[in-house]
Amino acid sequence: MSSPTNGEKGDYNHNKEVIATGEGELILVRRPTDTEKQMHTFEDYGLSTNCLGFMLKVHLWHHYKYSCQAKAIKENSNSVRVGSDALLAAGIRKSYSPEFEEKVIGKLTKDIVGKGCLNQEMLLRYGDYLFQKNLTIDSNQRAKNSRSAMRILLNLFLNLTDKLEKNASFKSKIHNIVEIFNPTLFNIVVDSVKEMCNFTHKNLKSQIT
């Protein structure tokens, strides 16, 4: 397992000082574009805990998975920790890229589902994570995949909301998509997913046989 070099440690200490004082410029693994410089603040940059390099949080997943020079990452590129670190970093960043705003947010169909996606901050963050996840895929295809995944989750949210409003035995009400992960709603979430997938035991039996 390799350790950060003295140069990397020096950059890390410099960056810590910049963030602590709010003055100076960060030394970054990947040089930001002029647009990125204008739209991002210190809060949008994160640390690779393996090589101590700083970069935009949205790029951490790709860096952890493919670019980090630390041998630990190469040996454990599929580890749960690597994925969770990157997901956490992407989830707490403050802004979206102009490309995501144009190709995903700007092209969401203006129906009840599309408008609903725009009102769910966590859903937008998830869509942005998917859009930025695999930069080797064409951006238009990534945008299409992101919009599709967001709409599926929003449909699930709307289905659950409707069920809870119609069933007086459920005291829980949900107001945002994060609340669908409430353990008390597990059974109704499963039922809603089955409905969306047109799942029945008869269908399952026919697929098995």
| Whether residues 102 and 84 fall in one domain | no
Any domain includes 103: yes
DSSP H helices, 22-120, are: 34-39, 60-62, 71-75, 80-91, 98-103, 112-118
Flag whether 81 is in a domain: yes
Specify the pLDDT at position 86: 54
Residue 24 CB contacts under 8 Å (≥ 6 apart), including other chains? 14, 17, 18
What residues contact residue 99 under an 8 Å CB cut-off, 6+ apart?
131, 139
**Amino acid at site 119:** N
Q: What's residue 152's pLDDT?
A: 92
Distances in whole angstroms, Cα of residue 35 to Cα of each of 90, 96, 160, 178: 19, 12, 40, 31
pLDDT at 151: 93
Q: Please say which residue of 39, 70, 90 terminates a domain.
A: 90
pLDDT of amino acid 42: 74
The number of domains in the chain is: 2
Residues 121 and 50 in one domain: no
Residue 139 sits in the same domain as residue 176: yes
Whether 29 is in a domain gets the answer: yes
Sequence length of the chain is 209
Rounded to the nearest 10°, the torsion over CA 19, 120, 32, 84 is 70
Are both 103 and 164 inside the same structural domain? yes
- Position 209 scores a pLDDT of 43
Does residue 161 sit in the same domain as residue 107? yes
* Residue that is last in its domain, among 58, 90, 122: 90
Q: Is residue 26, in this structure, part of any structural domain at all?
A: yes
- Residues 34-40: contacts with CB under 8 Å, at least 24 apart: 35/98, 36/97, 39/95, 39/98, 40/95
Residue 74 is predicted with a pLDDT of: 46
Residue where one domain finishes, among candidates 90, 124, 158: 90
Q: Mark whether 59 and 22 lie in a shared domain.
A: yes
| Residues 77 and 134 placed together within one structural domain of the fold | no
160 in the same domain as 104: yes
Q: Does some domain include residue 49?
A: yes
d(CA 72, CA 33): 29
Residue 79 lies in a domain: yes
Q: What is the pLDDT along the chain (209 residues), one digit of tens a residue?
A: 344 454 566 788 888 888 778 788 888 887 777 777 777 777 778 778 778 888 887 777 777 777 776 645 445 545 555 555 555 555 555 567 788 889 999 998 888 898 899 888 888 888 988 887 777 788 899 999 999 999 999 999 988 888 888 877 766 678 888 888 888 888 888 888 888 887 655 554 554 44
122 & 169 share domain: yes
Expressed as residue numbers, the domain containing 63 is 6-90
pTM assigned to the model: 0.56
Domain co-membership, 119 together with 79: no
207 vs 90: CA distance, rounded Å = 38
* Same domain, yes or no: 85 and 111: no
34-to-2, 39, 40, 100 alpha-carbon distances in Å: 33, 9, 10, 17
Residues 102 and 82 in one domain: no
Tell me whether residue 206 is in a domain. Answer: no
In a domain, 43, yes or no: yes
110-142 burial by CB neighbour count: b if 16+ within 10 A, else e? eeebbebbeebeebbbbbbbbbbbeeeeeeeeb
